[in-house]
Amino acid sequence: MDSAIARVPTTSGSKYLQQLCKHWQHNLAVEFTPAHGTVVFPKDARGADYPGDGLVTFDAGPEALAIRIDASSAEQLEGLKGAVARHLDRFAFREAPLALDWK
């Protein structure tokens, strides 16, 4: 299992978490509250944009949005990092591009 974590400085973390989860819940398994959310990306989800098994977890705090990605391979991890970053910047357009320092 390959993993990456990012802490995104923003006071709108809960808003972005909910927007991302609502966006993905139409096609993916999603659970969320204003403070915590999970999105499961199955292997067959939308081809190259979502490259394989993965779990994205969001945790919103007052000054940051924490994001964790767990994927079954390094390639899948990179693909999911890109998908999360693109979608987050789309919803956070007033603050975009947000700093995603993956570790």
What CATH number has the domain bearing residue 68? Answer: 3.30.310.50
Report the percent of the chain where pLDDT is more than 70. Answer: 90
The total domain count for the chain is 1
47: amino acid identity, one letter = G
Query: Is 39 part of any domain?
Result: yes
- Which range of residues forms the domain containing residue 72? 2-91
pLDDT at residue 25 in the model: 95
Query: Is 38 part of any domain?
Result: yes
Query: Is 103 part of any domain?
Result: no
Q: pLDDT for 30-89, tens place per residue? A: 999 999 999 998 865 554 454 457 899 999 999 999 999 999 888 888 989 999 999 999
Give dist(CA 87, CA 100) in Å, integer: 12
Query: Is 100 part of any domain?
Result: no
The pTM of the full predicted model, rounded to 2 decimals, is 0.88
Give dist(CA 22, CA 54) in Å, integer: 18
What is the separation, in whole angstroms, between the first and last Cα of the chain? 15
Sign, CA torsion 60/66/72/75 = positive
Query: Is 85 part of any domain?
Result: yes
pLDDT at residue 52 in the model: 55
CB 87 within 8 Å of CB 20: yes
Query: Is 98 part of any domain?
Result: no
pLDDT at residue 47 in the model: 47
Query: Is 11 part of any domain?
Result: yes
